[in-house]
Amino acid sequence: MVNKDLKHIIILLICFLVAVFNSIFLFNNNYLDLKKDYEKNLKLYEVIVYSLGNIRYSLAAYFWIRTEFFIHYSGFVTINNLPEIVYYAKLITILNPNFVEAYDFGAYQLAFFLNLPKEALDFIKEGIKNNPNEYKLYFTAGMIYNQKIKNYNESYKWFLKSLELIRKNKLNIDNQEFFRLYRFLADSAYELNKYTEAYIYYNKSMDYSTNKESMKNTPLYKKIIENLYK
């Protein structure tokens, strides 16, 4: 633990020195006419303070790279070290509240691997507060409500908000994401006895499936059809 903390301290010091030297360089060379952006002459300490403030973004990127390496390449991800990985995700969002992937990843691990859905929802809602136009965060919130909390009113609401943002922002997302979103909407609508909506969303999900025939044989589809024509 001491060695790991020492490594992070060294990284922080390196970032600090880089920021200071970079500030001095920009100031001395008046790079991009920085002084002209102010009515008064820009002070060196102002440039340094500004640069140091931006260290947090570099550190957030560093911790995210560490997290991704740990997950995808180390081969040592277990239920025992997941809390540490989630800790890094939370640390990243403290350093950079606009780091959407860290919110999404951390909330998913909390809910589905550490079985802490309420804590996951608190985390993902913090992410939504800081990034209100990110459809992925609403989708993850919907999944947690749907699969872990079993609150289908809430899951339906969050999935609809995710779909609304995709349409509003004209996002070009891949077919698999559309498939999952419409499938979850169909499931939530079915659980709320909204059989017409469930049928519409399920058929919409089939538009993004590579095997439409197999989808017509799923238990969910059969239950939707059965209740739709009662």
**Span 150-171, pLDDT tens digits:** 999 999 999 999 999 999 999 8
Task: Report yes or no: 37 and 57 within 8 Å, Cβ to Cβ.
Answer: no
Cα four-point dihedral sign 209, 213, 219, 221: positive
Q: Are 103 and 139 in contact (CB under 8 A)?
A: no
**Alpha-carbon distance values, 130 to 5, 89, 133, 166, 213 (Å):** 29, 15, 9, 18, 41
Q: What is the pLDDT, as a whole number, of residue 84?
A: 76
Please state, in angstroms and rounded to a whole number, the distance separating the CA atoms of residues 3 and 178. Answer: 44
Higher pLDDT residue, 62 or 220? 220
**Confidence band, pLDDT 50/70/90 cuts, at residue 149:** very high
The tens digit of pLDDT for each residue in 172-223 reads: 899 999 999 999 999 999 999 999 999 999 999 999 988 888 898 999 999 9
pLDDT bin (cut points 50, 70, 90) of residue 42 is low
Q: Which residue do the tokens 């499931």 mark?
A: 187
Q: What is the dihedral of CA 150, 153, 154, 156, to 10 degrees?
A: 100
How many angstroms separate the CA atoms of 220 and 210, rounded?
18
Task: Answer with the residue of higher pLDDT: 6 or 63.
Answer: 63
Where residue 95 falls among pLDDT bands split at 50, 70, 90? confident
Q: Mean pLDDT over residues 128-143, rounded?
A: 97
Quick one: pLDDT at residue 204? 95
Within the chain, strands assigned E span none
pLDDT at 54: 64
What's the mean pLDDT in 26-41?
A: 50
Listing DSSP states for 58-69 in one string gives HHHHHHHHHHHH
Average pLDDT, the chain: 82
